[in-house]
Amino acid sequence: MAITRFAPSPTGYLHIGGLRTSLYSYLWARKTGGEFRLRVEDTDTARNNEDAMEAIINAFEWVGLNYDGEVFYQSKRTDVYKIYIDKLLESGKAYKCYMSKDELDALRARQEAAKQSPRYDGTWRPEEGKVLPPIPEGVEPVIRIKAPTIGTIEFDDGVKGYMKFDANQVDDYVIARSNGMPTYNFVVAIDDALMGMTDVIRGDDHLSNTPKQIVIYNALGFEVPKFYHVAMINNPSGKKLSKRDGAMDVMDYKRLGYLPEALLNFLVRLGWSHGDQEIFSMEEMLELFDPTNLNKSASSFNAEKLLWLNSEYIKAVSNDRLIEELKFFDIDLSHHPKRTELLDLSKQRAQTLVEMKKSITDILDVPSFYEESGVKKFVKEDTKAFLEKYINLLEKNKDDLYDVTKVEDITKPFIAENGLKFPQLFQPIRIALTGGTQAPSVYDIIAILGFNEVSSRLETALKRNFQNT
């Protein structure tokens, strides 16, 4: 039984890398009958943003990754952290450091000048037989962990395999600032231990933090969880993913017209696979996912793949679901008599809900503008004559126009009898009915709109001679 977590900092939106990490953690917890928890790492009060926190919660609700219990806020646990800081001080595994900022800056400058990695030099570290400097007046100390100076820090990573760090790579880092506020690596280790985390799945940008956190685990006698450090998501060029490439707010994907199932399906495949299968339901993800099968190498964000997946999900979900989703885009087909026909028609062509809305409104809205290039190409001197004849044909059969097949049955002979080619008739009709040349089948549009609306739009276009002024 795995207990996992996702632990964002509320300093910005939830991006897709974070959502992928939370998805992996969610799947592993649910598959094993464990728990998936949400913890907010908000101890950096200067950078916290309430709107960002709300956006993170909203993103989880949208994609349906339900977490167990209440949201866990680190900012409300400072008393707990102080208990463990005091324990470390009392046991001699942490100590007070009175080195000022100026002294630290000077130390760093000397180390950089000597081409050394900047690290604390242990001035205030208590050692047997060592005489510490006099405590300066007016300096509030920080608390530093007493890290091991010899040996190694080792752990078996579920993705990267056996990891080994020389202990001297971890210096006596600060676990509590001079104002008493604990630092990131300290509170992460405390909370993961106290929340009973068995498995920590996170991006491999946290790999360097792991030895520091293991120092805390060992100092307090906590059991070290299983770590899985997931390779990053790159852009198609192999560079860090930028907002332009897709690293934007998860909720931006909703605003762009993606379904949450499509986004989760896309993300689960960025670092994990099951044969050649591309489309996974949540049930299949839960059945098949195992973090030990995560890829060691970085994955590439493929916007075309995401669009394809989204189009497949749009085709697959029910029309009732699409009606509800489209309400977010200010279009409500709940009571439209032709809602089924509109949805069945538009979802075959749309890659996103935004495109689907446009396809629907292109049909339902009376055009205010005619595509000039289309008019120039398809509206000729004889167009008015055969369109007027076609309107008369539609009027004679107006009671049958609700059926696409019957519209086709009366139109094909008309084209043949008048010596026309299909584009000669259909493209002027498309322009008159929708304003453009890329709309769906004319037969479908006529069946949806009915005779009165079709004849009105055709007659208007003819009166205006398809002109916009």
Which residues does the annotation place in the binding site for ATP?
243
- Across residues 208-221, what is the average pLDDT? 97
Which residues does the annotation place in the binding site?
243
Distance CA 302, CA 187 (A): 36
Q: How distant is the alpha carbon of residue 234 from its chain centre?
A: 14
pLDDT at 121: 92
Distance CA 416, CA 394 (A): 16
Query: Could you tell me which residues are beta bridge partners of residue 142?
Result: 97
413-422 pLDDT per residue, tens: 999 999 999 9
Higher pLDDT, 314 or 14: 314
pLDDT at 75: 87
pLDDT at 22: 96
pLDDT at 47: 66
Higher pLDDT, 168 or 214: 214
Residue 248 in this model has a pLDDT that exceeds 90: no
∠ Cα 325 327 332 (to 5°): 120
- Number of C-beta neighbours around residue 235 at 10 A: 17
Residue 46 in this model has a pLDDT that exceeds 70: no
CB distance 406 to 400 below 8 Å: yes
Q: Where are the alpha helices (DSSP H) in 365-468?
A: 372-378, 383-396, 404-417, 422-434, 442-463
Place of tokens 């205006």: 464
Residue 43 in this model has a pLDDT that exceeds 90: no
**DSSP letters for 57-78:** HHHHHHHT-PPSSS-EEGGG-H
pLDDT at 56: 87
- Out of 42-46, 139-143, 430-434, which region has the weakest mean confidence (pLDDT)? 42-46
CB distance 190 to 153 below 8 Å: no
Percent of the chain with pLDDT over 70: 98
- Across residues 121-150, what is the average pLDDT? 93
pLDDT at 24: 98
- Across residues 258-281, what is the average pLDDT? 96
Structure letter (DSSP) for residue 229:
E
- What is the CATH architecture of 78-230? 3-Layer(aba) Sandwich (3.40)
Residue 241 in this model has a pLDDT that exceeds 90: no
Residue 246 in this model has a pLDDT that exceeds 70: no
Spatial CA neighbour of 230 closest among 11, 61, 28: 28
pLDDT at 245: 66
Distance CA 268, CA 247 (A): 16
Average pLDDT over all residues of the chain: 93
pLDDT at 9: 84
273: its two tokens: 């696979």
Every domain of the chain and the residues it spans? 78-230, 366-463
176-188 pLDDT per residue, tens: 999 999 999 999 9
- Across residues 140-150, what is the average pLDDT? 95
CATH tag, 366-463: 1.10.10.350
Annotated catalytic residues are 243
Residue 45 in this model has a pLDDT that exceeds 80: no
pLDDT at 342: 96
- Tell me, yes or no, if the two domains 78-230 and 366-463 fold the same way: no
Residue 48 in this model has a pLDDT that exceeds 80: no
Spatial CA neighbour of 58 closest among 7, 14, 8, 4: 14
